[in-house]
């Protein structure tokens, strides 16, 4: 079965859902919307893992050059964060109330931290596959100069967005409650998180290229 036609729409759907879910429950008047989207993302994760089952089966085989070590590390950390997100999300779900021995407090903290690490690792994952993605889009042609300049500008803005949105504070639990300033608008929220995605994807793309050349 040719899965190439499935992979791109699946990856795009997962990325879009991840960006939306980074807005937390604040984006929606009903918390259940966030919960449903979260379960939809996990379902897509299962499909993604099935399509890449050969990668999992060969993870401990062969040689381990620096690029492959980085790729395995990023992928496993991303998978761990995704699982932690699902478990903590289910613990907080309105249809499955659970508050035994401080479990709900743990779930909230775990969900906050893992969601932001998940986003960074997802961006890194996309960056390590950027060459393959653009190769499919451009059909083997070289990327023109103008898109490269646009990507560079967006990545630079991503530094500002990363700091302004306080992503590091959530990653290292320096802020225990998620805050989203909706006065800045939903479109700016999307622009900020897309620019953060471009920033980390660009960083890991070039780190991957350096490691590949050294190898």
Per-residue pLDDT band for 144 (boundaries 50, 70, 90) equals confident
pLDDT recorded at residue 95: 60
Whether the predicted pLDDT of 127 surpasses 80: yes
CB atoms within 10 A of CB 51: 16
Under a CB-based contact definition with an 8 Å cutoff, are residues 20 and 37 in contact? Answer: yes
Residues near 78 by Cβ (< 8 Å), separated by ≥ 6?
Answer: 118, 121, 122, 124, 125
pLDDT recorded at residue 181: 78
Q: Which of 129, 153, 142, 92 is nearest to 204 (CA)?
A: 129
Q: How far apart are CA 88 and CA 107, in angstroms?
A: 5
Alpha helices in the chain (DSSP H): 4-21, 31-51, 53-57, 66-92, 103-128, 130-138, 145-164, 167-171, 186-214
Query: Quick one: CA dihedral 80, 81, 85, 88, positive or negative?
Result: positive
Q: Which of 190, 205, 121, 125 is nearest to 158 (CA)?
A: 190
pLDDT recorded at residue 129: 93
Angle, to 10 degrees, between the axis of helix 103-128 and the axis of helix 4-21? 130
Whether the predicted pLDDT of 1 surpasses 60: no
Under a CB-based contact definition with an 8 Å cutoff, are residues 26 and 182 in contact? Answer: yes
pLDDT recorded at residue 92: 85
Per-residue pLDDT band for 99 (boundaries 50, 70, 90) equals low
pLDDT recorded at residue 154: 97
Q: How far apart are CA 104 and CA 54, in angstroms?
A: 36
Q: For the chain, what is the mean pLDDT?
A: 90
Average pLDDT over residues 83-104: 76
């Amino acid at each position: 079965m040719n899965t190439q036609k499935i992979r791109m729409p699946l990856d795009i759907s997962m990325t879009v859902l991840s960006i939306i879910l980074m807005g937390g429950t604040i984006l929606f008047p009903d918390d259940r919307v966030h919960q449903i989207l979260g379960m939809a993302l996990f379902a897509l994760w299962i499909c993604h893992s099935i399509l890449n089952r050969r990668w999992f089966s060969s993870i401990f085989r062969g040689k381990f050059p620096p690029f492959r070590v980085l790729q395995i590390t990023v992928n496993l950390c991303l998978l761990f964060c995704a699982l932690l997100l699902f478990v903590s999300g289910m613990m907080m779900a309105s249809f499955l109330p659970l508050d035994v021995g401080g479990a709900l407090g743990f779930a909230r903290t775990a969900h906050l931290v893992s969601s932001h690490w998940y986003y960074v690792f997802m961006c890194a994952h996309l960056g390590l596959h950027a060459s393959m993605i653009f190769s499919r889009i451009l059909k083997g042609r070289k990327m023109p100069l103008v898109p490269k300049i646009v990507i560079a500008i967006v990545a630079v803005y991503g530094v500002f967005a990363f700091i302004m949105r306080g992503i590091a504070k959530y990653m290292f639990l320096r802020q225990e409650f998620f805050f989203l300033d909706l006065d800045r608008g939903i479109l700016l929220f999307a622009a900020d998180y897309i620019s953060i995605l471009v920033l980390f994807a660009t960083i890991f793309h070039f780190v991957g290229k350096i490691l590949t050349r050294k190898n």
